[in-house]
Amino acid sequence: MNRPRIALLAVAIGLAGTVTLQTMQSNQAVEGMAAAAGDFLASLPEAQQSAATFEFDSDERSRHHFIPPEVFERHGVSYADLGFEQKVRAQDLLRSGLSQQGYMTAQQIMEVEGILGVLVEGEGRQFARDPEAYFVSVFGTPSTTGTWGWRWEGHHLSLHFTVVDGAVTVSTPTFLGANPATVPSGARKGLRAMKAQEDTARELLASLGASQREAAIFDDVAPANVVTGADLVVDPLDPIGVKGADLSTGQQEMLMAIIESWVGLMADDIAELRRAEVHEGGIENTYFAWAGPTERGEVAYYRVQGPNFLIEFDNTQEDLNHIHAAFRDFDGDLGRDLLREHLAADH
């Protein structure tokens, strides 16, 4: 966590007053994504290019899920069907929206899909697992000034990026998952693709005093999945848990570390927008809530909810080694907030 950076951003918000989030970010992320998307599409033959592209306002842009492709049909061009150079271009596009840590996390999530395929081989599972069963889609025409977007999606990885009039958005929803959450054997034994997202929450939980703990743990039984699922629009959940205002300064830093484990996955410009939203709502108005047992190795669910965002983390499936998690923006998923401003300006 970069506290000076956050503090400076908070001061900037206070001084600017009416400055909107999108005007505080540079065009670096937009330029990188536009160039990468253009290069990726140019590398495709006509049939694959047709499969990969959609109108920006098509219904397809709002379709998303984190479950296997066999259960929720994916559209776009399949990464598995790409040639070597095309895969390089696709990876460049993925990298353009993420930080180095975010890109590594995405790669590990896809890697454990292949590990799961080896682990379950011969168990008679309904679906095979494939680390290349991911789909790339581009909506509209990539540009540094226009309105367009792109998506990378498959099992346990659903990433959406939206650009409105050349301005990058908070770029949500973001779904992450991992199965196995901890690789149990083999050359990658011990690999945890979502280590930071779990360990930061456990650190804050362990720090809570008796009254704080009583407020934070809202149920002895963890929900079986993220509560909001893959809903297209997410409204704030009941504000349960321990409130940031009731945490010490050190505990507030731990709460921010949980948020940063998600924020830091994104490219710098997008990450700054997410940090700005956290500051706008106030860490003191952000809640941390836990459900289920607190011992490591038991079922685990937590949520972090601010006035304008929600993080959910659930590890309750597959012998407690199967994570589903999400970062949602109540007003800005799929760029809804900037698109409203765009339409209002046009009319």
Q: What is the pLDDT of residues 46-96, one digit of tens each?
A: 999 999 999 999 999 999 999 888 888 999 999 999 999 999 999 999 999
The span from the CA of 330 to the CA of 347, in Å, is 24
DSSP state string for 218-279: EESS--SS-TTTT-SS-PPPP--SEEGGGS-HHHHHHHHHHHHHHHTTB-HHHHHHHHHHHH
CA distances from 84 to 87, 91, 222, 271, 285 (A): 5, 11, 43, 30, 48
Answer for the pair 29, 96: CB distance below 8 angstroms, yes or no.
yes
Answer for the pair 137, 54: CB distance below 8 angstroms, yes or no.
yes
Residue 209 parent element (H or E):
none
pLDDT tens digits for range 309-323? 999 999 987 667 889
- The pLDDT value recorded for residue 129 is 72
158 bridge partner residues: 153, 175
- The pLDDT value recorded for residue 264 is 97
- Strand runs (DSSP E) across the chain, as ranges? 53-54, 77-78, 134-139, 148-154, 157-164, 167-168, 174-178, 217-219, 242-243, 287-291, 300-305, 309-315, 323-329
CB atoms within 10 A of CB 60: 14
**Residue 9's pLDDT band (boundaries 50, 70, 90)?**
very low
- Residues written for the chain: 347
| Neighbouring residues of 155: CB distance < 8 A, sequence distance ≥ 6 | 66, 67, 68, 69, 113, 129, 133, 177
pLDDT > 90: percent of the chain: 75
The span from the CA of 120 to the CA of 122, in Å, is 6
The three-state secondary structure class of 318 is: coil
pTM of the model as a whole = 0.88
Angle at 260 between CA 293 and CA 315, to 5 degrees: 30
Task: Name the nearest CA neighbour of 136 among 166, 116, 106.
Answer: 106
